[in-house]
């Protein structure tokens, strides 16, 4: 069997968060045969040495790649908080020689085995991902049918690079990026637009978002996001009970704090496990409208919360559309 190739991408600002996730990956999985790629957005030399030393101790092969070598030819990229790290995952096929690769976002905690993914039948699809708990507006922005397609979250991606290369996907990505001056939802919008007919939907347990832990109900998520198709109740409850990968997104639809934050909000169920590997700073989250909203509606029927969210959604969607145009 070839290497179990796993890819992370981060800037120096996000290095400690990435390092904590990598530690959880190696604690929850047999390190034998793992090759880890780090797509670097100006990660410092000191942190690169720390990373390599840790991998050496674990007997894991590692390669640190400068992502700017691959982004230079792209004309239209919108930064995320001043970083272009998120776009690194679009060029994994140019970095990795393996036929099967797993990409994992930095803001994650790996709680179980990921080995099965390297043997999963992807049915000839180039890319696999978990359906996102995202507003249906994002389907509309790239023309996705809500009954035919399932918009995936880009935080965990399983790539069949053999199929990817056969279908010339890297060139399709570059062409798309150069032709679109505004990209809805950054690279995630690109992935869902280009690969709409070439996505393998993965089990929910491989990318468990805050909304899954908070609502624990497939019907509530469907109603909240305006989705026609989603995982069923059994799949949701199984993911809550035994997640393989926990994803700490900054969702405004839950009151959860990300583990490296303190202050206003509610501690995420897996925060303490993540913090056991984290050596970075803790930032303070101030009271916000979202936190006060959840505090107010926490003891009220879901229907009341949903009605309030629908009112907010009208304003929020106008802002999103204005930003995208």
pLDDT, one tens digit per residue, over 265-317 is 889 999 999 999 999 999 987 767 777 888 787 878 889 888 888 887 777 66
pTM: 0.92
**Residue 296: enclosing H or E segment and its boundaries?**
helix 289-297
Tell the CATH topology of 4-284.
Spore Coat Polysaccharide Biosynthesis Protein SpsA; Chain A (3.90.550)
Q: Is 140 a residue whose pLDDT tops 70? A: yes
Q: Encode pLDDT of 234-272 as tens digits.
A: 999 999 999 999 999 987 788 899 999 988 788 999 999
How is the chain split into domains, by residue range? 4-284
| 199-208, 212-221, 284-293: least confident range | 284-293
Buried b / exposed e across 73-87, counting CB within 10 Å, b at 16+? ebeeeeeeeebbbbb
Which residue stretches of 130-217 are H helix?
137-141, 161-166, 169-179, 186-194, 210-215
Provide mean pLDDT across the span 61-73. 84
Structure tokens at 282: 């803790």
Whether residue 113 has pLDDT greater than 90:
yes
Burial class (CB in 10 A: 0-12, 13-18, 19+), 188: buried
């Amino acid at each position: 069997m070839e290497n179990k190739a796993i890819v992370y991408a981060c800037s120096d600002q996000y290095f400690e968060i990435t390092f904590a996730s990598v530690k959880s990956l190696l604690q929850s999985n047999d390190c034998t045969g793992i090759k880890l790629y780090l797509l670097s957005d100006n990660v410092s030399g000191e942190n690169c040495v720390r990373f390599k030393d840790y991998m050496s101790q674990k007997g894991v092969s590692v390669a640190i790649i400068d992502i700017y070598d691959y982004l230079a030819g792209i004309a239209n990229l919108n930064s995320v908080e001043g970083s272009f790290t998120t776009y690194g995952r679009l060029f994994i096929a140019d970095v990795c020689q393996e036929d099967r690769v797993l990409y994992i976002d930095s803001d994650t905690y790996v709680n179980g085995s990921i080995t099965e993914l390297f043997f999963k039948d992807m049915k000839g699809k180039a890319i696999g991902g978990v359906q996102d708990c995202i507003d249906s507006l994002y389907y509309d922005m790239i023309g996705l049918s809500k009954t035919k397609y399932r918009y995936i979250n880009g935080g965990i991606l399983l790539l069949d690079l053999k199929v990817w290369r056969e279908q010339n996907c890297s060139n399709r990505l570059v062409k798309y990026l150069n032709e679109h001056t505004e990209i809805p939802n950054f690279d995630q919008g690109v992935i869902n637009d280009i690969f709409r007919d070439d996505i393998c939907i993965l089990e929910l347990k491989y990318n468990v978002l805050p909304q899954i832990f908070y609502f624990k109900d497939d019907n509530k998520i469907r109603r909240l996001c305006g989705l026609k198709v989603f995982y069923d109740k059994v799949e949701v409850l199984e993911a809550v009970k035994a997640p393989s990968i926990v994803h700490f997104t900054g969702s405004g639809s839950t009151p959860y704090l990300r583990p490296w934050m303190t202050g206003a909000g509610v501690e995420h169920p897996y925060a303490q496990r993540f913090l056991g590997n984290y050596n970075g700073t803790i930032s303070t989250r101030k009271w916000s409208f979202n936190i006060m909203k959840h505090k107010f509606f926490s003891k009220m029927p879901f229907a009341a919360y949903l009605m309030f969210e629908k009112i907010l959604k009208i304003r929020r969607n106008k802002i999103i559309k204005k930003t995208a145009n």
